[in-house]
Amino acid sequence: MAQAMSDRGEPGGGLGVLPQVAGAVEWLADLVADGDVVVLSGAGISTESGIPDYRGETGRLRRARPMTYQTFVGSMEARRRYWARSHLGWRHIVEARPNDGHRAVAELQRLGLVSGIITQNVDGLHQAAGARDVIELHGSLSRVLCLGCGRRSSRERLDRRLRAANPGWEARPGMINPDGDAVLDDADIAAFNLVDCEDCGGVLKPDVIFFGENVPRPRVERCYALTERAGLLLVLGSSLAVMSGYRFVRHAAERDIPIAIINRGPTRGDAHALLTIDAPLGATLTSLLAVLR
């Protein structure tokens, strides 16, 4: 694994965009220039768009316990809490715009260098930047799923229905947690009205994978297949702390597929990586594009 100075001036495990480590970006450019790059992105690529992550510099995992699938399906009050908080938090997600990192990934794909994109994010910002055929490993907040009949519908329609069901409901979030979860007072949550599936009256759930829920096997197999065809697995903005994404790094390593990682801070996959870069995603990927051009 490469050893160099990060842009924080710390030894080892980090390569950045400062002059003293610019060679690292050139090395990465040599790897990317061969093409067949598969991108595996995490929350760290979206923090520059104002969306906090769970474990990075903006992470709040220790302060905010995310909703689990078991809790959501097992309690109407848990669903009321989730949808009240998400109803406000969704506005924060939908207003977010792609940043330089998202745009760089889309441009690398347009240049024919990126052959596939797997994202652990549910914010849709890769697609908003122009990326195509993105595999959304954990689903998307832009869709809603009925647990009764399986119907999928748009989050925009649900937003309109929730507004109509809650006239005069106004709440001010204390802060926005990852995945559009807004912190609210108990009184605001208690006053929030839920809506059910328009077709069957079933329970509505965001079309995302909650903690404690499994990613559908066909989606996982598609990601494995894409990884196996990669000339380089490029991890962007993920600590790889969760097996859901880390398994593809292990899969690549077992097949001697080169792995490069750009992330703020160490990751679970560093020992498998040919190259690690500890630096801001937007600036580093913009520099990478400049070298490739």
Domain ranges of the chain: 19-292
Question: Distance between CA atoms of 264 and 194, rounded to whole angstroms?
Answer: 39
pTM: 0.88
Q: Which tens digit of pLDDT belongs to each residue from 199-255?
A: 999 999 999 999 889 999 999 999 999 999 999 999 999 999 999 999 999 999 999
Question: Distance between CA atoms of 232 and 89, rounded to whole angstroms?
Answer: 35
Question: Distance between CA atoms of 282 and 290, rounded to whole angstroms?
Answer: 12
| Residue 14: pLDDT band with limits 50, 70, 90 | very low
- For residues 160-194, b (16+ Cβ closer than 10 Å) or e, as one string? ebbeeebeeeebebeebbbbbbbbbeeebbeebee
* Statement: residue 13 has pLDDT above 70: no
CB of 269 closer than 8 Å to CB of 260: no
Output the pLDDT for position 177. 60
CB of 208 closer than 8 Å to CB of 67: no
| Residue 191: pLDDT band with limits 50, 70, 90 | very high
Q: Write the single-letter amino acid at 291.
A: V
Whether 237 has a binding-site annotation, put simply, is yes
| Residue 54: pLDDT band with limits 50, 70, 90 | low
Q: Which tens digit of pLDDT belongs to each residue from 115-165?
A: 999 999 999 999 999 999 999 999 999 999 999 999 999 999 999 999 999
* Statement: residue 43 has pLDDT above 60: yes
Query: How many alpha carbons lie under 13 Å from residue 214 in its C-beta half-sphere?
Result: 5
Whether 250 has a binding-site annotation, put simply, is no
36: CB partners within 8 A, 6+ apart: 115, 229, 230, 231, 232
40 beta partners: 118, 235
- Domain 19-292 classified CATH 3.40.50.1220? yes
Q: What is the mean pLDDT of the chain?
A: 88
205 beta partners: 145
Percent with pLDDT over 90 in the chain:
75
Point out the catalytic residue in the list 87, 102, 126, 138.
138
| Residue 23: pLDDT band with limits 50, 70, 90 | confident
Whether 223 has a binding-site annotation, put simply, is no
Q: Is 138 a known active-site residue?
A: yes
Percent with pLDDT over 70 in the chain:
85
* Mean pLDDT along residues 193-199: 97
Whether 49 has a binding-site annotation, put simply, is yes
* Mean pLDDT along residues 29-42: 97
Collapsed DSSP state (helix, strand, coil) of residue 240: coil
Output the pLDDT for position 179. 62
The arrangement of strands across the sheet holding 37-41 comes to 134-136, 114-119, 37-41, 232-236, 259-262, 275-277
| Residue 183: pLDDT band with limits 50, 70, 90 | confident
Question: Distance between CA atoms of 228 and 251, rounded to whole angstroms?
Answer: 8
Whether 50 has a binding-site annotation, put simply, is yes
